[in-house]
Amino acid sequence: MTASTPRPPTPPSAAPSIAPSAASSAASAVSADGAPPPAPGPSLEAVDLSVGYRRDDVLSGLSLAVEPGTVTALVGPNGSGKSTLLTTLARVQRPRAGEVRLRGRALGDWSSVEVARQLALLPQSAVAPAGATVRELVEQGRYPQLGPWAMLRRRDDAAMERALSLAGVGALADRRLDSLSGGERQRAWIAMALAQETDLLLLDEPTTYLDVRHQIDLMDLVGRLRDEHAMTVVMVLHDLNQAARYADRVVALRGGRIIADGPPAAVVTAEVLREVFEVEARVVEDPVTGRPLFLAL
Amino acid sequence: MITIPKWTDGPVPRTTTARRRPPSRALPRAVALTVALLALVGVAALSLGEPTLGPVRALGALLDAGDPAHVVVADVRLPRALLGAGCGAALAVSGLLLQDSLRNPVAGPELLGVSAGAAVVMTAVVVLGLQVPLALAPYAALLGALVAGAMVLLAIGATRDPEHVLLVGAAVSAAGAGLVVALVGLGTEGDVVLLFRYLLGSLAARGWPHLEAVAPWIGLGLLAAALLRSRVATLALGDEVATGLGVPVVRTRVLALVVAALLAAASAAVCGPVAYVALLAPHVARRLVGTGTRRTFWVAPLVGAALLVAADLVCRLVLYPVEVPVGVATTLVGVPALLLALAGRRGR
């Protein structure tokens, strides 16, 4: 509430900053002089979570608390359960045991629409309807806020415009999704999630299939959502160096358990890499960001 | 209780540089256009034929019980046009629900076994000479359609996989078509008329009793579809996205299938399996207002109604006094139109 009026960012695609290092290392300082986190305690919490398909447990007895206003990266080899953890946190998957708490209350105690008003998920399975435009996609993000007759009202339009602008796809609003590049399309999906107007954003491998430039743009956007809009982001990342560079906290999973958890410097180490990914690597300090950078041996 | 992120309170940026077709205005415009089209087709349906009347004369005869043309306009042409409009709207919404909830642009009630179920019952009634009073015939067909639809829904169970739905539906439809052929084979040459009266899809010789039999079902189905439309819209984005938006995915898909089956059954019960309207009308609606079941819902039934009434009118006139079954016309128009739509979609 005390926040000075947040200026919507100038068209972000116009001038992506070339050296985001200063911004991202000063991230904690920036969020400190912004509004204090709205609710004390973790915004999203997994307590003793077990999730499985058929007989096998994908996650077993996993606990994780996500602090508000932070970016958390989930990393791990294929089949480590990181995507399952993300979808379970978003109530898409039901846990076999344990529970997920949103603002301290079990997910089951919220209605599904109440959850969707506080937590947006962008899964990998997202399908763009044939011929849909960016605006038509983003409009779907308003579903949890719609009234009983499901008509779009003025505040829905306003939320959509803000989401389009924040994700940097305002100029593409009336373009068809199938005419966009992979990076633009991914931003359109992010705009759809932003239109939900949630504090929490869960992303499943948002940078996969994107070229380097679009990967950087997307990660910068995630940083801005945290710094300028006090959002809490949890994302599954394939690229460990990306996780080390952009996340406040890295959680490494293997076999459905958390092997290492902490700030990048504590998690991206030669020992953890060996244990989690079975990779022999040397970890050096990234000369640009000062974050850890791993090089496979 | 729910804290709104601070950026949501900020000023609204003007993002769009070229707003060629703002959705807010496209929808009322498309509704007005299709209503006008439907009205035009409706007046033509009341006026043309034998005797051909001017539009003013036809509307006058409709209201004036003393007019010599009153019977033909009010008791023959009007119920037939209304039935065409109602069935066209029902088929269009049925197709829309199926296409969006199964994420398949060529899904239609043909693939739910519903049309086949109605056809089997009607064929059995005629060929086996079952004693079904005329007034009850639509209900018998409705029963057959609903049984076939229920079989498909039961075979599917609570599946999460849209592909599976289409496979099961195609299998039940094929079984229904086989049964119809077998039943026709049992019949005599005189039963061939049935083919023209019903199996190809026809509105000939239908009147107020037919309309009264199915109107409540169509009304119920359209109302249910209106309530489902924004949930179905999210299904088009994938099951996980829809769940993330707070939509109960499996329940919504099953409800959408039930409503689609009900609408298609009501239509098949009185005018037989009219082809391609269910497939085509949603695509025309998307051309007019873009994707998104929430908006296309308002346009697709109007398009479907206009399509079917117009097709029926053409079938009535083109070889007068012989009537062509309306299903033939919708197929002849539907196939090239669909191919054109698909070509245009790929080309852009």
Task: Tell me whether residue B3 is in a domain.
Answer: no
> Six-digit token pair at A162?
């803000």
Q: Is A102 helix (H, G, I), strand (E, B) or coil?
A: strand
Only one residue has tokens 């038509």, namely: A136
- Confidence tier at B342 by pLDDT (50, 70, 90): low
- For the ranges B82-86, B323-327, B343-347, the maximum mean pLDDT occurs at B82-86
Contact (Cβ atoms closer than 8 angstroms) between residue B62 and residue B54: no
Point out the residue among B18, B20, B245 whose CB comes nearest to the CB of A144: B245
Q: Are A92 and B244 in contact (CB < 8 Å)? A: yes
Q: How far apart are CA A70 and CA A250, in angstroms?
A: 11
Assess whether the previous peptide bond of B321 is cis (omega < 30° from 0): yes
Q: How far is A191 from chain B (nearest CA, A)?
A: 13
Q: Is the dihedral of CA B54, B58, B60, B64 positive or negative?
A: positive
State yes or no: pLDDT of A148 exceeds 70: no
Bridge partners (DSSP) listed for residue A50: A97
Q: Which two tokens stand for residue B251?
A: 């329940």
Residue range B44-69, pLDDT digits in tens: 999 998 888 888 888 888 888 888 88
Give the number of C-alpha atoms closer than 13 A to the C-alpha of residue A32, restricted to the C-beta side. 4
- The answer to whether residues A268 and A240 touch, using CB atoms and an 8 Å cutoff, is yes
The arithmetic mean of pLDDT across residues B309-317, rounded, is 90
Q: Which domains does chain A have, with CATH numbers?
A: 39-118+198-297 (3.40.50.300), 128-197 (no CATH)
DSSP A176: B
Pairing of strands A249-254, A44-53: unpaired
B126: tokens are 């005629």
Is B275 strand, coil or helix? coil
Averaged pLDDT for residues B149-153: 80
Share of chain B above pLDDT 70, in %: 88
CB-CB under 8 Å, B15 with A170: yes
Which pLDDT score, from 0 to 100, does residue B25 have? 74
Q: What is the count of structural domains for chain B?
A: 1
Size of interface A-B (CB pairs under 8 A): 161
Q: Is the peptide bond before B51 cis (omega within 30 degrees of 0)?
A: yes
**Given CB atoms, is B8 within the 8 Å cutoff of chain A?**
yes
pLDDT one-digit tens code per residue, A31-86: 344 444 445 678 899 998 999 877 778 888 899 999 999 999 999 998 888 999 99
A-interface mutation test, from B14, B15, B284, most A Cβ less than 10 A away:
B15
Using the Cβ of A141 and the Cβ atoms of chain B, whether some distance falls under 8 Å is answered with: yes
- Asked if B84 and B201 count as a contact pair (C-beta separation under 8 A), the reply is no
Q: Provide the shortest C-alpha distance from residue A154 to chain B (in Å).
A: 11
User: Hunting for tokens 């296309």 — which residue is that?
Assistant: B296
A6–B244 CB contact, under 8 Å: no
Residue B68: Cβ within 10 Å count: 9
Amino acid at B273: P
Mean pLDDT of B162-191: 82
Which residue reads 């990234």 in tokens? A286
Of the listed ranges A157-166, B116-125, B278-287, the one predicted with least confidence: B116-125
On the question of pLDDT at B160 being above 80, the answer is no
- A141 in Cβ contact with B245 (< 8 Å): yes
B106 touches chain A (CB under 8 A): no
Q: What are the Cα distances from residue A228, in Å, to A31, A33, A119, A197?
A: 8, 11, 18, 14
Other CB atoms within a 10 A radius of the CB of residue A77 amount to 15
Looking at the predicted structure, is the pLDDT value of residue B137 above 90?
no
Residue B219 in this model has a pLDDT that exceeds 60: yes
Give the number of C-alpha atoms closer than 13 A to the C-alpha of residue A52, restricted to the C-beta side.
11
Q: Is B15 among the domain residues? A: no
Query: With an 8 Å Cβ cutoff, are B105 and A196 in contact?
Result: no
Q: What is the mean pLDDT of residues A180-186?
A: 88
Residue B196 burial (CB < 10 Å; 0-12/13-18/19+)?
A: middle
pLDDT of residue A19: 36
Does a structural domain hold residue B344? no
Predicted local distance difference test score (pLDDT) of residue B348? 38
- The SS3 assignment for B84 reads helix
pLDDT at B135: 66
- Residue B172 vs residue A13, higher pLDDT: B172
The stretch B125-129 carries a mean pLDDT of: 80
How far, in Å, CA of A184 to CA of A84, rounded?
26
Give the amino acid at B179.
Answer: L
The mean of the pLDDT values for chain A is 83
Residue type, A45: E
Best residue of A136, A169, A233 to probe chain B, by most B CBs closer than 10 Å = A136
Residue A40 is predicted with a pLDDT of: 62
Return the HEC string of A15-53: CCCCCCHHHHHCHHHHHHHCCCCCCCCCCEEEEEEEEEE
Residue B16 lies in a domain: no
Q: How far apart are CA B290 and CA A197, in angstroms?
A: 24
- Tens of pLDDT, residues A91-136: 988 898 899 999 988 988 899 899 999 999 999 888 888 888 999 9
pLDDT value at residue A2: 40
Q: Which amino acid is at B81?
A: A
pLDDT at A263: 94
**A25-29, B168-172, B247-251 — which one is most confidently predicted on average?**
B247-251
Q: Centre a 10 Å sphere on the Cβ of residue B132 and count the other Cβ atoms it contains.
A: 16
DSSP state of B7: G
Number of other CB atoms surrounding residue A246 within 10 Å: 29
Answer yes or no: is B33 within a domain.
Answer: yes
Q: Which of B229, B237, B289 to mutate to test the interface with A (most CBs of A within 10 A)?
A: B237
> Could you tell me which residue, B205 or B41, shows the higher pLDDT?
B41
A window 240-279, beta carbon within 8 A of B:
none
* Residue B88: predicted pLDDT: 95
The confidence score (pLDDT) of residue B196 equals: 67
Q: Residue A143 carries which DSSP code?
A: G
Residue B334: give its domain's CATH number: 1.10.3470.10
Residue pair B239/B249 in contact (Cβ under 8 Å)? The answer is yes
The whole-number pLDDT of residue B347 equals: 41
Alpha-carbon B279 to chain mean position: 8
Q: Which of residues 328-347 of B touch A (CB under 8 A)?
A: 345
Q: Under an 8 A CB cutoff, do A123 and B348 touch?
A: no
Share of chain A above pLDDT 90, in %: 46
A182: pLDDT strictly greater than 90 = no
Task: Determine, for residues B244 and A117 on separate chains, whether the beta-carbon distance falls below 8 Å.
Answer: no
Interface residue of A2, A139, A155, A226 to substitute, partner B, most B CBs within 10 Å: A139
Tokens of B77: 């042409």
Q: Do A228 and B7 form a contact (C-beta atoms < 8 A)?
A: yes
> Is any Cβ of chain B less than 8 angstroms from the Cβ of A121?
yes
Query: Which residues of A, range 200-239, sit inside 8 Å of B by Cβ?
Result: 228-231
Amino acid in the structure at residue B341 = A
Q: Is A142 on the interface with B (CB under 8 A)?
A: no
Q: Is the separation of the CB atoms in A22 and A223 below 8 Å?
A: no
Could you report the predicted ipTM of this complex, rounded to two decimals? 0.81
Other C-beta atoms closer than 10 Å to the C-beta of A121 total 27
Residues B265-297 have pLDDT tens digits of 888 888 888 888 998 999 999 989 888 888 899
Structural domain boundaries, residue B214 = 25-339
* B291 contacts A161? CB cut-off 8 A: no
pLDDT attached to residue B119: 85
pLDDT reported for residue B13: 57
Interface residue B154 vs chain A (CB under 8 A): no
What is the average per-residue pLDDT within B108-119?
82
Phi-psi region of A235 (alpha: psi -120 to 50; beta: other; left: phi over 0): beta
At A185-209, the pLDDT tens digits run 999 999 999 999 999 999 999 988 8
In a domain, B19, yes or no: no
When the pLDDT of each residue in chain B is averaged and rounded to a whole number, the result is 83
The residue-averaged pLDDT of B244-253 equals 90
d(CA B13, CA B276): 43
Residue B346, domain member (yes or no): no
Inter-chain CB proximity A157 and B24 less than 8 Å:
yes
Chain A hits for B248, CB-CB cut-off 8 Å, are 112
- A49 touching chain B per CB within 8 A: no
* Local structure of A106: helix, strand or coil: strand
Does a structural domain hold residue B284? Answer: yes
From A236-240, B71-75, B114-118, B339-343, the region with the lowest mean pLDDT? B339-343
Report, as an integer, the average pLDDT of A264-275: 91
Burial class of residue A38, CB neighbours in 10 A (0-12, 13-18, 19+): middle
Q: Which residues 20-39 in chain B show a CB within 8 A of chain A?
A: 20-21, 23-24
